[in-house]
Structure formats: C-alpha cells, structure tokens
C-alpha cells in the first residue's frame, strides 16, 4: 500500500538537518546583546490541534493569563540564575505568563522542584543551559526510582503551557565522556515530569541531554507538539540512552509533529503507559518507537495498552516498530541494565503508516529482551502477555545488518503472545527479500515470508 508522509516531515528533513552551533558560537552571537536593552515581549500562545488522528482525551484548554513576569538573568553563562527563575515562577503562578527573554542566556546549576505550577504559561524564548557539574548533579538531581532515572528539574502541576521557540541545553558532553569511564553514574534527563496534568509543551529545541530528553511520569492529558531534539557527542564517546520520550505510569499523552535525532528510542512506552497517541514524527539514528522494555522487575505488573502510532518516518535506526519484553529469567543487557521475571500485559497496540529507511529491523517483537541465549529464554517464557497488536502500511528498505530478514516476531510462548497481525508490509531488505524470523506466532496473519533462521534476539 502506497502512502505519503505529511508536508511537516518533508520540511523537517529539509530544514532541520543543518549542523548544530557550538556553545562558543552561541557565546559569540550573544555578545551582541551585552550592554544592550533586549525588548520585552511575549510570544503568542500556539494553537494546538491533533491531526490526522484524534487523541484519547480532549485536548487541554489553557485558561487566560492576567500577569506577565520577565525572568532576570546574569547573562554570563557562569552565574546561577535559578533564584531568578523561581522568583518569576512563584510571582506569576496561578494565572500568569513567565518570559525567558529572547537573546538572553539563562544558566542553571541548582536542582529545581517545579511541581507547584498551576495555571501558568512559561514562554522560553532565550537559551537555557544547565551546568556540567557532574558531581553536584549526581548528588542533587531528582530520583524517579526507575532504571536509574534522575532529572535536573522536576516539572509538575496543572494547566502548564510551555512554548516560545527557545532552547534547553543539557550540556551533555561531560556526561557522555564520564559515562564511557563509569556506566553506573546517574545521568539527569533534560525534562523530568512528575505529576503534570492538562498541559501542553510545544515549540522548543532540546539539545545535548545527558540521558533521556523527556521522562514523563505520573502524568495525564499532556501534549507535546513541534519539539526539535538533537545533540550528538563531539568526542569518540557516544551519547547513549538519549531517548526522545519515555512515558511511565501516565495516560492520555500525545507526542506529535516533531523531529528527533538521537541515540536511543525515539519514543518508548515504559510500564503503565495507556491511551497514547504518537503521530507525524521524523526519527533519525534512534532505536525505534518502542513498547517497553517491560517485565524487568520481579513482583511488578506492567501494563501498556491502547497505543496508536501513526505516520512515522524512520531513518538510520535499529528498529522501526518494536515491542520488547524481558523473559521470566534473570538477564543482563548491560552492567547497568538487567532484569527479568516481571509480569503484565501489552494490549491493543497499532503501528500504522511507517517509512523504513536504512533500518535494521522494520518490525521487532521480542519476548527475550536482554537474553542472548534463546534456549534459556524458551525454557523460561515471559509471563507478560502480548495481544491485539497491529502493524500496517509499512514501506521502504532495511539496512544490511540482518539480510535477508526485515524483521522478527519472536514470542517465547504462543499462550502469552497472540493475535499479532502485519498487513500491507511493503518492506524489503537490500537483497530484495521480505523474510522475517517467526517463532510461536500465527504466520498466516503476517504479510511477510516467515523464516526459521535465527538471527539473534535484541
């Protein structure tokens, strides 16, 4: 089945692929504002809609704001502006509009608890840089208690509207280099959300996060629109685990109309993510749009349910659409990522309309995540069920990595993994084949040529 990407994705590919400016280049540019008066103005609030697919919940409807607060700054990239930021947020909370002014640099070297926000617009026009004091942040960043996640700041509250076209810079290079020496360090995510409701985050550029760019926890009815993510390492040490979004214990999340150039999952639905819509994404260099990983922790019951992914353009990624579940046995993907033995369910997941361009696996269903030995995985099948999964309208070509295979449908047991379908799959490998590794699945429901050749889990 033929399909077209939206004009948005084509524009993103054409206009957002330029090289990122260095911090020194930004400093040189910003010198032009030193000693000058930067005019105060507010950005118009973006008009957000969901198209072509509709979300599970009505979109947030921000209330009017009746006060404006401009955030002061030392504007030197050295002195902590956190007190100024808190001053403005408290002053304009409950009905105000806070402005980070265009052309001004804001420097943050203190962990900020921003879970008090209520009925507020945060208009980020300037450049917000977090310090690279790795010792301070490891001791003081906010811990979420899941997969070693910590954050520079913790964002929460009700009716919070963030926009403005500015940039948040996680100053990640120091973290990429440190992680290469010690995989057990705690790397902050750039935007850590804990308890945010009926809110919209849009029109922002996110750069150089030490780990995930977003960790969305305990949130309901939050929309992310027109987010530009990028920030590779400038040294030989790769920027790892830089997921675009990870959702956790959240419902009613929308992620749309965004460009992601990163080094891990473009989007990952972690435990207890429900009723979510992802549409119109351009993902480059990622690990795909993933359900999971799930079943990592013994005694935990993980649920991912009612997820719709539409119109995703996947370029130079390890996966296009992916479902990853730990087996019911201890496994170690890496020294700082191990698990297995948890339970739960994945239900009603749809991946609809996906462009595959130099992707290792167009589709990967994997109930043996973290386990390199398939014999052990099959001896201890996952107790986490995978049901009612739809892949449809895929088109493109995979990379050479798994030639001649284009995907894998690897269930550890047919009793816990069923009703999986793949329709209108027009994806081929460089050899021209559409082979896929199939294990414990209904091959008649898959629009691929099933193969019993084992290419390896993960």
Share of the chain above pLDDT 90, in %: 76
Q: How confident is the model at residue 455 (pLDDT cuts 50, 70, 90)?
A: low
Q: How confident is the model at residue 380 (pLDDT cuts 50, 70, 90)?
A: confident
- Mean pLDDT throughout 355-373? 89
pLDDT tens profile 124-165: 999 999 999 999 999 999 999 888 999 999 999 999 999 999
User: Residue 23: what pLDDT?
Assistant: 42
- Mean pLDDT throughout 382-395? 94
Q: Where are the beta strands (DSSP E) in 319-382?
A: 319-325, 331-334, 337-339, 343-359, 361-366
Least confident span in 190-194, 307-311, 414-418:
414-418
**Long-range contacts of the stretch 205-208 (C-beta < 8 A, 24+):** 205/165, 205/166, 205/167, 205/168, 205/230, 206/167, 206/168, 206/170, 206/230, 206/231, 207/20, 207/167, 207/168, 207/169, 207/170, 207/231, 208/169, 208/170, 208/171, 208/172, 208/173, 208/239
pLDDT surpassing 60 at residue 426: yes
C-alpha dihedral (164, 310, 370, 457), degrees to nearest 10: -140
User: Residue 83: what pLDDT?
Assistant: 98
| Pairing mode, strands 142-143 and 150-151 | antiparallel
Contacts of 267 (CB under 8 A, 6+ apart): 243, 244, 245, 246, 247, 255, 278, 281, 289, 290, 309
Write down the residue that tokens 């730990």 correspond to: 326
- Mean pLDDT throughout 393-403? 97
Would you say 206 and 213 are in contact if contact means Cβ atoms under 8 Å apart? yes
pLDDT tens profile 232-273: 999 999 999 999 999 999 999 999 999 999 999 999 999 999
Write down the residue that tokens 């675009």 correspond to: 244
pLDDT tens profile 323-359: 998 888 777 776 666 777 889 999 999 999 999 999 9
Known catalytic residue at 51: no
pLDDT surpassing 50 at residue 13: no
∠ CA(365), CA(371), CA(376), 5° rounding? 105
Write down the residue that tokens 């992916």 correspond to: 322
Cα–Cα dist 336/332, whole Å: 8
User: Residue 377: what pLDDT?
Assistant: 72
- Mean pLDDT throughout 200-217? 98
Q: How confident is the model at residue 401 (pLDDT cuts 50, 70, 90)?
A: very high
- Residue, of 446 and 22, whose pLDDT is higher: 446
Q: Which of 97, 119, 214, 287 is catalytic?
A: 287
User: Residue 18: what pLDDT?
Assistant: 34
Q: Where are the beta strands (DSSP E) in 171-234?
A: 188-189, 191-207, 214-217, 220-230
User: Residue 382: what pLDDT?
Assistant: 82
HSE toward the beta carbon, residue 150, CA cutoff 13 A: 20
- Residue, of 40 and 408, whose pLDDT is higher: 408
pLDDT surpassing 70 at residue 430: yes
Cis peptide before 277 (omega within 30 of 0): no
Q: How confident is the model at residue 21 (pLDDT cuts 50, 70, 90)?
A: very low
- Mean pLDDT throughout 406-411? 93
Q: Shortest CA distance to 230 belongs to which of 263, 200, 255, 201?
A: 263
Please return the burial class of 421, using the count of CB atoms within 10 Å of its CB with bins 0-12, 13-18 and 19+. middle
Write down the H helix ranges in 192-314: none
Write down the residue that tokens 């029109």 correspond to: 203
Which strands, in side-by-side order, build the sheet including 150-151? 142-143, 150-151, 188-189
Q: Shortest CA distance to 327 belongs to which of 292, 364, 371, 270?
A: 371
- Residue, of 29 and 180, whose pLDDT is higher: 180
Q: How confident is the model at residue 427 (pLDDT cuts 50, 70, 90)?
A: very high
Query: Cβ–Cβ contacts within 10 Å for residue 452, how many?
Result: 7
pLDDT surpassing 90 at residue 4: no
Q: How confident is the model at residue 378 (pLDDT cuts 50, 70, 90)?
A: confident
pLDDT surpassing 80 at residue 384: yes
pLDDT surpassing 60 at residue 1: no
- Residue, of 389 and 13, whose pLDDT is higher: 389
User: Residue 383: what pLDDT?
Assistant: 84
Would you say 43 and 165 are in contact if contact means Cβ atoms under 8 Å apart? yes
Provide the CATH topology of domain 7-64+111-120+131-451.
Answer: Pectate Lyase C-like (2.160.20)
User: Residue 25: what pLDDT?
Assistant: 42
Cα–Cα dist 247/326, whole Å: 18
| Pairing mode, strands 435-439 and 220-230 | unpaired
């Amino acid at each position: 089945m033929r399909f077209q990407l939206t004009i948005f994705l084509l524009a993103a590919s054409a206009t957002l692929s330029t090289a990122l400016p260095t911090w020194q280049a930004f400093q040189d540019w910003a010198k032009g504002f030193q000693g000058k008066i930067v005019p105060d103005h507010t950005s118009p609030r973006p008009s957000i809609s969901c198209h072509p697919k509709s979300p599970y919940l009505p979109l947030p409807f921000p209330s009017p704001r009746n006060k404006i607060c401009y955030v002061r700054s030392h504007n030197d990239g050295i002195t902590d502006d956190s007190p100024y930021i808190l001053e403005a947020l408290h002053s304009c909370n409950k009905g105000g509009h806070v402005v980070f002014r265009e052309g001004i640099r804001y420097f943050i070297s203190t962990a900020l608890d921003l879970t008090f926000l209520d009925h507020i617009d945060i208009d980020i026009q300037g450049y917000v840089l977090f310090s690279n004091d790795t010792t301070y942040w490891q001791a003081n960043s906010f811990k979420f208690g899941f997969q070693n996640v910590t954050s520079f700041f913790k964002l929460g509250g009700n009716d919070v509207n963030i926009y403005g076209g500015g940039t948040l810079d996680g100053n990640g290079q120091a973290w990429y280099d440190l992680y290469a020496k010690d995989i057990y360090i705690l790397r902050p995510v750039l935007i850590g959300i804990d308890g945010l409701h009926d809110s919209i985050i849009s029109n922002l550029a996110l750069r150089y996060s030490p780990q995930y760019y977003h960790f969305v926890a305990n949130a309901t009815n939050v929309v992310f629109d027109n987010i530009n993510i990028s920030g590779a390492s400038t040294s030989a040490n790769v920027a790892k685990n830089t997921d675009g979004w990870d959702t956790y214990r959240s419902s009613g999340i929308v992620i749309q109309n965004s460009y992601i150039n990163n080094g891990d999952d473009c989007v990952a639905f972690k435990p207890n993510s429900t009723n979510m819509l992802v549409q119109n994404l351009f993902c480059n260099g990622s690990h795909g749009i993933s359900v999971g990983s799930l079943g990592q922790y013994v005694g935990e019951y993980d649920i991912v349910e009612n997820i719709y992914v539409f119109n995703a353009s996947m370029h130079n990624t390890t996966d296009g659409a992916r479902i990853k579940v730990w087996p019911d046995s201890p496994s170690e993907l890496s020294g700082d990522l191990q698990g297995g033995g948890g339970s739960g369910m994945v239900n009603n997941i749809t991946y609809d309309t996906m462009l595959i361009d130099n992707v290792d696996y167009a589709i990967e269903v994997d109930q043996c995540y973290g386990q390199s030995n398939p014999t052990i995985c099959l001896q201890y099948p996952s107790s986490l069920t995978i049901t009612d999964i739809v892949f449809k309208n895929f088109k493109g070509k995979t990379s050479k990595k798994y030639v001649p295979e284009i995907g894998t449908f690897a269930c550890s047991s047919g009793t816990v993994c069923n009703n999986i379908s793949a329709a209108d799959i027009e994806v081929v490998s460089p050899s021209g084949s559409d082979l896929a590794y199939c294990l414990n699945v209904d091959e008649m429901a898959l629009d691929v040529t099933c193969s019993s050749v084992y290419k390896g889990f993960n």
